[in-house]
Amino acid sequence: MKAWILAGALALAGMEGAEAQTLAAVKARGVLNCGVSQGFAGFSAPDSRGEFRGLDVDYCRAVAAAVLGDATKVRYVPLTAQARFTALQTGEIDVLFRNSTQTFLRDASLGLNQGPVNFYDGQGFAVRRDASVGKVQELDGATICVAQGTTHELNLNDVFRARGMKFSPVVFERIDTMYEAFYAGRCDAMTQDASALAGALTAARDPAAYRVLEETISKEPLGPFTRNGDDQWSNIIAWTHYALIEAEELGITAANAEAQAAGANPNAQRLLGTAGEFGSRFGLDNRWALSAIRAVGNYGEVFERNVGQGSTLKLRRGLNGLWTQGGLMYAIPFR
């Protein structure tokens, strides 16, 4: 049995009813314990001052603002791929935002709840430009760096076997050591989510020496994880995401949220707490969504600032665009 499946099975035995107090625990503590990666540019990585920045980090900040009224009340817990789910199961963290792919087995076997997808991605490959590799098929026989405890290991084996290709894996527990090994020439290619690879290459000594292949080999829907048995907390995490999407649909930004709350649009009034009793149904202030949006902006602002055209990654919205613009981002109605 896979180690992470066994860990989930063992955790289930002692979890009944234990997680129904996450909101109360966070409020009593006054700090949100948020699981993030150890360093994915654009998603969660410390800046030059040691402060965490990124799309996942902004989601942590949005939840802290919604629950505690202060986006700075977050303790970031950097986690390896192997340790991330155990940290959530054992209560070390309150929520996991860590480039984590949602899958059937993770949903059914870990005793965890998968929240809405906040970034649609796919597994890609980074190679040296001078290797003259233009597509995945040309990696037949290659040595490939891959992180342990990720969906990338399974995808790599499945796709190469299905295509009749061979490869030699070099497996790493830590992402940073995988990057170092690839840049040192230990592997012909490195595989990970395409967005994470794009971020990693910006930090290379010579970014122009590498490229990410256009082809991806998998679906990687990324999103938050919470513990089973605490619907109230899982709903808060989910609806914080929907609030950021709804805000973008309505043209509500960090800068104009207060003005929009005082406006005449009934959809904005419900979202921002000037009409209805939406926050109280979750045990929150009715201005919870307004607090989150004021802290980080709408989804489009979060995307552009961290991974979009306003960032070093300069990723296109693509599938992560609003449904009205050909993407998959769609908010469940606030009514």
The pLDDT confidence band at residue 17, using thresholds 50, 70 and 90, is: very low
What the chain holds in terms of domains, given with CATH numbers, is: 3-120+222-325 (3.40.190.10), 123-218 (3.40.190.10)
The answer for residues whose C-beta is within 8 angstroms of residue 298's C-beta and 6 or more apart is 244, 245, 247, 248, 252, 253, 254
Q: What is the mean pLDDT of residues 9-38?
A: 75
272: left (phi over 0), alpha (psi -120 to 50) or beta: alpha
* pLDDT at 45 > cutoff 80: yes
- pLDDT of the residue at 235: 97
Whether 3 has a pLDDT exceeding 50, the answer reads: no
DSSP state of 74: E
204-251 residue pLDDT tens: 999 999 999 999 999 999 999 999 999 999 999 999 999 999 999 999
Q: Is the pTM of this model over 0.85?
A: yes
According to the model, what pLDDT value does residue 175 have? 87
Q: Is the pLDDT of residue 14 over 50?
A: no
Average pLDDT over residues 129-152: 94
Q: Is the pLDDT of residue 257 over 70?
A: yes
Q: Give the mean pLDDT of 196-201.
A: 91
Distance CA 88, CA 106 (A): 13
Mean pLDDT calculated for residue range 138-148: 96
pLDDT higher than threshold 90 for residue 18? no
pLDDT at 75 over 60: yes
